[in-house]
Amino acid sequence: MDSLTPAGFFGALTEVSTRLADLKAGSVGVGVVSLYAQPDAALYRLPLEHMRRFERAMEREIRARLRAQDSLFAIDGKEWLIVLPNLSSAAVLTLAMLKFEQAFNEAPLEIDGIMLHMRVVCGAAISPEHGKDAFHLLQSARIAGLVAGRGDTGSQIYNPAMEQISPSLASLERDLRAAFAGGRELELHLQPKVHVPSGECRSAEALLRWRNSAGQWVPPPVVVSLIDRLGLRHRFNRWLFQCAAQILHGLRMEGLEVDVSINISATDLYDVEVPELIGQALATWSVAPERLCLEITETSMIDDGPGDSVSAVLGRLRALGLSLSIDDFGTGFSGMSRLKRLAVQEVKIDRSFVIDLLSSSRDREIAASIIDLSHRLGVEVTAEGVEDEQTAALLAEMECDYIQGFLYSKALPLADFVAWVRARTGVGLAAANMLEG
């Protein structure tokens, strides 16, 4: 397994934060590039194994064009964030983006004899001009990437005007608003979670899928930040809760006892209307609240000041009967002491600790202590991003309760998910025996 790339948005966030702290001590600028691959439609029809090879090939090619001090973070298989410290000028960023574009856009990428033509789109941002903190800097790079992706001008460095007048953002906004109005293009796909002792699929995570009017998939974190920037959060939540409740209703109609988790954002925790909207959606579809789980990232729970408003909203969500889960656990700094106080039902070990579980004793220790302490508190543990049998077997040995990842399936549209669960029923015991054996 390629263990070179640290995973995820939060890894990049931490790295940029560290670099920004250095910057205060008097060194030079930090740049961030968001690189987004738009392969032709052929990729989406390839089996998962090929998708993974595609991602690794992309990583290799990007890495070959980095300086020793740069770091690369894979966001989701189609988006990469590159942190470039010690910039002497913006020209270095422009040059880097040019190299990436040329590398991919001029010749197809070959994966097992399949030629993938694609377009690589880069957006960049520089500190401190384009973001006062790491989070805003990364967002600015992604906004520049969105603008670059919609036009034909090639890579872009962020400028604030992009947010006001950019025709690209405006057209994405139109697409998004239309999606809310018609409710067609926005979808929730379900990724199965497998209960380790029984091998059964008892729950699934609902993940946002959206194609813009040009038919391109937009990565969910980008959609979510766009929704925030456009002030559409409230409408999105309304749609999300209704859609999740409708899916739960659909699963019940199919005779399947499967719970569904949705992801809610940090800002939702400060929105007093959220519990009410969820309650309404569940009532509309006559769904029992216990069936719905809310995944909340660990980092969004950190700013729990003396006013304790996060705890207050969590309390009201719990009072509705919903279950709560801490997502991306291990990436924040809250540690186990808060776990008890937050009274959640589930903890999800972040993919960044799962990727190198077989090779890194440090990651094994982190995972083992998360599992052990969670169990002591009566909290169940899901490991996410599990891609291979050996890692699954190791997690089973560590008594992890649920496993989620490409090993079993990527997120599927409802009908495909139902078919997947049906096909799996009956093989549960065999899988469980295999893990024990």
Nearer to ligand C2E, 10 or 158 (CB): 10
135 binds ligand C2E (CB under 6 A): no
Instruction: Considering only the stretches 1-9, 271-279, 325-333, 402-410, report the one whose residues sit in contact with Ca ion under the rule CB under 5 A.
Output: 325-333
Q: Does the protein bind ligand C2E through residue 187 (CB under 6 A)?
A: no
Interaction partner, residue 247 (ligand C2E, Ca ion, none; CB < 5-8 Å by kind): none
Q: What is the 3-state secondary structure (H, E, C) of the chain?
A: CCCCCCEHHHHHHHHHHHHHHHHHCCCCEEEEEEEEEEECCHHHHCCHHHHHHHHHHHHHHHHCCCCCCCEEEECCCCEEEEEEEEECCHHHHHHHHHHHHHHHHCCCEEECCEEECEEEEEEEEECCCCCCCHHHHHHHHHHHHHHHHHCCCCCEECCCHHHHHCHHHHHHHHHHHHHHHHCCCCEEEEEEEEECCCCCEEEEEEEEECECCCCCECCHHHHHHHHHHCCCHHHHHHHHHHHHHHHHHHHHHCCCCCEEEEEECHHHHHCCCHHHHHHHHHHHCCCCHHHEEEEEEHHHHCCCCCCCHHHHHHHHHHHCCCEEEEEEECCCCCCCHHHHHHCCCEEEECHHHHCCCCCCHHHHHHHHHHHHHHHHCCCEEEECCCCCHHHHHHHHHCCCCEEECCCCCCCECHHHHHHHHHHHCCCHHHHHHHHHC
To Ca ion, the closest distance from the beta carbon of 337 in angstroms equals 21
Q: Quick one: tokens of 359?
A: 């090779």
Site for ligand C2E in 358-387 (CB under 6 A): 384-387
Minimum distance of Ca ion from residue 99's CB (angstroms): 31
Residue 347 CB, nearest approach to ligand C2E (Å): 13
By CB under 6 A, is residue 405 in contact with ligand C2E?
Answer: yes
Q: Using CB under 6 A as the criterion, what x/- string covers residues 309-328 for binding ligand C2E?
A: ------------------xx
Which CB atom, from 101 or from 268, has the smaller least distance to Ca ion?
268
Bridge-partner residues for 218, per DSSP? none
295 binds Ca ion (CB under 5 A): yes
331 binds Ca ion (CB under 5 A): no
Site string for Ca ion, 210-249 (x = CB under 5 A): ----------------------------------------
- Strand arrangement, sheet containing 71-74: 71-74, 79-87, 29-39, 118-126, 156-157
128 binds ligand C2E (CB under 6 A): no
Site membership for Ca ion, residue 263 (CB under 5 A): yes
- Nearer to ligand C2E by Cβ, of 203 and 404: the residue is 404
Contact at 8 Å (CB) between 261 and 294? Answer: yes
Residue 279 contact, options ligand C2E, Ca ion, none, Cβ 5-8 Å cut-off depending on partner type: none
Using CB distances below 5 to 8 A depending on partner kind, what does residue 385 bind out of ligand C2E, Ca ion, none? Answer: ligand C2E
Range 62-91, binding ligand C2E (CB under 6 A): 76-77
Q: Which does 406 bind (CB under 5 to 8 A by kind): ligand C2E, Ca ion, none?
A: ligand C2E
* 219 contacts ligand C2E (rule: CB under 6 A): yes
Residue 78: alpha-carbon gap to chain centroid: 12
Among the listed residues 389, 385, 391, the one whose alpha carbon sits nearest the alpha carbon of residue 358: 391
Q: Which of 328, 346, 356, 401 binds Ca ion (CB under 5 A)?
A: 328
Choices 82-90, 164-172, 213-221, 307-315; region in contact with ligand C2E by CB under 6 A:
213-221
Tell me the C-alpha distance between 420 and 414, whole Å: 10
Shortest Cβ 262–ligand C2E spacing (Å): 6
Q: Taking CB under 6 A as the rule, does residue 59 contact ligand C2E?
A: no
**Given CA atoms 8, 11, 16, 19 in this order, what sign does their dihedral have?**
negative
Which of Ca ion, ligand C2E, none has residue 207 at its interface (CB below 5 to 8 Å by kind)?
A: ligand C2E
Smallest distance from the beta carbon of 389 to ligand C2E, in angstroms? 12
Site for ligand C2E in 243-272 (CB under 6 A): 262-265
Closest CB to Ca ion among 225 and 263?
A: 263
Nearer to ligand C2E, 156 or 263 (CB): 263
**Contact positions vs Ca ion (CB under 5 A):** 263, 295, 327-328
